[in-house]
Amino acid sequence: MASLRAYVLTRILLTIPMIFILLTVVFLVMRVLPGNPVIAMVGMKASEEQIRQLMHQLGLDKPLWRQYLDYLSRVLRGDLGNSMIWGRRPVIDEIMDHFPATIELTISGFAVSVLLGIVTGTAAGLRRGTGLDLAMRVYSIVVYALFIPWLGMMLQYVFGVKLGWFPVGGRIGPMMEPEHVTGLYVLDSILTLNWGSLASALRYLTLPSLTLGVVLSGVYTRLVRTSLSEVLEQDFIRAARSRGVSERVVLFRHALKNAFIPILTMMGLQFALLLAGAVLTETTFSWPGMGTFLMERIIYRDFTTVQGTIVFYALFVALVSLVVDLIYAYIDPRIRY
């Protein structure tokens, strides 16, 4: 297992240059954009003196290279700094306020996409060349091409406005917030045995996670279909049948497990897309997560918060892809690090 530790360590070290490059790019892009947090906050009518004073307070009057080095040295010490607008709260606190909402949406969107993908892909893979197969393939292309805000608005219109089954925005009903444990409302409601909150949280979660999940499921449909039909033609499937095991066992124990390996790779790759999709979903459904928050802070040119959020996203994606690699090694005995 020493090699496993070395592998994990290498992967972690490799994220450092990645973060550095990303940070530099975000730093520069934010400065190139017209406007700055002071103007955004006090508006054009503020006096010269007022603006100069605020600029000085935020360190924005220093030369750019100086600001860059200051920021870098602070990040190296693990400090993402403070927000540049009202309240000037620590960036990490702001992120932590919004992160659970995003995680909740991401996990449920992910679950919906994988579940839909496996069901549709398995149906197609088991009945290749039939009408069902064709229908599933059309499904995969159509949903892949959908634009998240468009699908979100359609679902809002049909299930929210017309049928009134689900709310069209927000994260939970008024006064329904469960006691804070993890910040994930569904989980917290279960942990505190608060069934009213659970029902409310799930109702609010349904449309956003469907929107995100459906759009991302198309990739899995195609992948599961191809992978499964390839595996089903392998010799070891025939060998399993020759032992007299049932078709159910052949499908679940042998075929799907083997077909799952390329799907797992795709899950790791799709995770970044999932987070990006979550930003669009959040803005469509006024979901109070990182996406909504990030959009707002970009508009306010809150340099430190935007930089910090992007670094946080990057670290998170790197962590997930590392975890996926470790799961991969766990499932496939041929892979050892």
Partner 1 sequence: MGGELLRIEDLKVHYFTSGGVVRAVDGVDLEVRRGELVGLVGESGSGKSTLGLAIPRLIPPPGKIVGGRIVFDGLDLTELSEERMRDIRGRRIGMVFQDPMTSLDPLMKVGDQISETILAHEDVSKSEARARAEELLEAVGIPRDRYDDYPHQFSGGMRQRVMIASAIALKPDLLIADEPTTALDVIVQAQILHLFRELQRSMGMSVILITHDMALEMQVADRIAVMYGGWIVEYSPAVAMARDPLNPYTAELLKAIPNIELEDQRLVSIPGSPPDLRAPPPGCRFHPRCRRRFEPCATEEPATVEVDGRLVKCHLYASGGPDSAGGSERGEGERENGRG
Is there binding between residue 334 and partner 1 (CB under 8 A)?
yes
Out of 102, 156, 258, 283, the only residue in the binding site for partner 1 (CB under 8 A) is: 258
State the burial class of residue 326 (Cβ atoms within 10 Å of its Cβ: 0-12, 13-18, 19+): middle
Taking every pair of Cα atoms in the chain, the longest distance, rounded to a whole number of angstroms, is 86
Q: Is 230 exposed, middle or buried (0-12, 13-18, 19+ CB in 10 A)?
A: middle
Of 245, 276, 295, 323, which one interacts with partner 1 (CB under 8 A)? 245
Binding-site member from 240, 294, 310, 318 for partner 1 (CB under 8 A): 240
Contacting residue, 17, 43, 235, 248, with partner 1 by CB under 8 A: 235
Residue selected from 45, 162, 243, 248 as contacting partner 1 according to rule CB under 8 A: 243
82 forms beta bridges with 90
Please report where in the chains the tokens 């990006």 appear, as a residue. 276
* Least gap, CB of 257 to partner 1 (angstroms): 6
Q: Is 3 in the site for partner 1 (CB under 8 A)?
A: no
| Given 40, 249, 272, 320, the residue binding partner 1 (CB under 8 A) | 249
Residue (of 269, 275, 258) closest to 334 by Cα position: 258
| Options 98-106, 113-121, 247-255, 268-276: segment touching partner 1 (CB under 8 A) | 247-255
Q: Is 74 in the site for partner 1 (CB under 8 A)?
A: no
The reply to whether 333 sits near partner 1 by the rule CB under 8 A is yes
**Among 86, 147, 165, 236, interactor with partner 1 by CB under 8 A:** 236
Token pair in block for residue 296? 């707002």
Q: If 0-12 CB within 10 Å is exposed, 13-18 middle and 19+ buried, where does residue 25 land? A: exposed
Amino acid of residue 1: M
- Closest CB 337 distance from partner 1, rounded Å: 15
Tokens of 250: 């052949």
The helix, strand and coil proportions of the chain, stated in percent and rounded to the nearest 5, come to 75, 0, 20
- Can you tell me which of 241, 262, 272, 312 binds partner 1, judged by CB under 8 A? 241
Name the phi and psi angles at 144, rounded to 5.
Answer: -65, -30
Q: Residue 327 interacts with partner 1 (CB under 8 A)?
A: no
How far, in Å, CA of 234 to CA of 200, rounded?
Answer: 47
Residue 205 amino acid letter: L
Nearer to partner 1, 162 or 248 (CB): 248
Site for partner 1 in 121-150 (CB under 8 A): none
Give the binding range for partner 1 (CB under 8 A) out of 15-23, 177-185, 237-245, 266-274.
Answer: 237-245
Under DSSP, the state recorded for 336 is -
Helix (H, G, I), strand (E, B) or coil at 233: coil
Residue 134 CB, shortest distance to partner 1, in Å, is 17
Q: Which stretch binds partner 1 (CB under 8 A): 14-22, 137-145, 231-239, 276-284?
A: 231-239
Residue type, 323: V
Interacting residue ranges for partner 1, rule: CB under 8 A: 233-236, 238-246, 249, 253-254, 257-258, 331-334
